Amino acid sequence: MFTAEALAICQALDELSVTDKNLLLLTDSYSVLQALKCLTIKSPKVIHRLAGKILVRKNFHQKISLVWTPGHSLIHWNEKADLLAKTVTESHPLLEWIAYEDIISRYQSISLQKTNHSFQNSKYQESIGDIPAMLTLTPWLKNRREDIIIAMT
């Protein structure tokens, strides 16, 4: 949803091509606004894309205000945007741009599901029992790695 919300704001900027008037964009995506506020080199590509579009407008001396509004609060244009988003989601359109972070996240999720499914249906699960997921071991491994690095110095 994060990428879709950010792309929706990008699309709104593209559609509102008038550069001689200031813009007020309302969004119910607090996470996108926070990501823009805390922009770093490691931010998702879609946030960099959105920040670039805003910067171009700023260079034309156009002020853009992004304001958070609560979702599903009977604000006319917000409700209309939610309806359009639902329609687009249900129609499965061909997306022109997908963030690589979303692709990687999806494949990691699928890979983990397949691995867990294979293990649960294997002969090893019966003899070994249920092994905690790697994600639950990650904090221990991370600290151990730090301990090794500290010990080596």
**How far apart are alpha carbons 78 and 129 in whole angstroms?**
50
Same domain, 34 and 74: yes
pLDDT in tens, 45-102: 889 999 999 999 888 888 999 989 888 778 887 787 777 767 766 665 555 566 677 7
Domains: count for the chain: 2
Report the CATH number that the domain containing residue 92 is assigned in CATH.
Answer: 3.30.420.10
**How far apart are alpha carbons 45 and 23 in whole angstroms?**
23
pLDDT in tens, 15-27: 887 778 888 888 8
CB 1 within 8 A of CB 46: no
Same domain, 44 and 93: yes
**How far apart are alpha carbons 66 and 140 in whole angstroms?**
41
